Amino acid sequence: MRRLRGRLLQPLVQENFISKADLVAPLFVDETADNPLPIASMPGQFRYPAGGLVQAVQGLRVKGIPAILLFGIPAHKNPGATEAFNPSGIVQQAVRSIKAAVPDMVIITDVCACEYTDHGHCGIIATGPHGPDLDNDRSLELMAEIAVSHARAGADIVAPSCMLDGMVAAVRTALDDAGYTDTAIMSYSTKFDSALYGPFREAADSGFAFGDRSTYQINPANGREAVRESELDALEGADILMVKPAGFYLDLVAAIRGYGLPIAAYQVSGEYAMIKAAAGQGWINEKKVVMESLLCIKRAGADLIITYFAGDAAGWIDEEQ
């Protein structure tokens, strides 16, 4: 086996590579911000004001990043998440501004309600026999309305993340009925009830006021259930399937490739924060660990990697060329 491990031959037989075309950068736009606000638990990441976001996107495009995933933090929240589909809402404004300034940047918008509800859950809440919980069917109507508003603003891809039963079918039908047949859907099809989302909840101001999300996100113990979730979304018309988080769930990235759709994997806020914290202590080499983590996600079968390291990784890729 060592014959092909010689330094001269290694590049000829390397099986997987990370390219800039693999990377998607998540970004937060905050309606209440006047200047970029550092996110304490995610060093190097910011909540951007609407104006400052365009400059950040331009910088990413210059580095060669082809796509962003956009999250909005509104000035006002309410139980019905009405700001999520407001034509003048923060995400809708941001999409229009980015498209005008950076027309060749692919814009993906997160379609959910957790940043927009005053209770922090991902849709409409109803009281059932075991207390308050997500009302699946009423929330489907909300997601459809949000997705159409994003498409109308100019989003290239909408990404429903609420893990509702039937969410892809509802969004696809709404988009088609509104004339947005070319707007693609990247479904958070295999999204776990993970402990790795903590920093994101600070970043997006999306912490929940009661309960948890275990009734609509997947138990980390359940691999077969996770595969079925992606199978159903593929049947409902998803264009891209996603596994979230990425690093702890590479078996699922590999498992859902059989559906023949592009696969996205989301290296989430907790994964980012752990690497940053260890690197900050000098315990690991940040660049090497980041690039190894991305390479392993790619090796498992991801076509797209959503990562807060996208901008840094693009620079490191340039260094290797």
* Residues belonging to the active site: 191, 244
Q: Which residue reads 């796509």 in tokens?
A: 67
Task: Name the residue type at position 213.
Answer: R
Could you identify the residue written with the tokens 């900050």?
Answer: 280
Using the Cα atoms of residue 156, residue 89, residue 27 and residue 264 in order, give the sign of their dihedral.
negative
CB-based contacts of 153: which residues, under 8 Å, 6+ apart? 87, 91, 92, 93, 95, 96
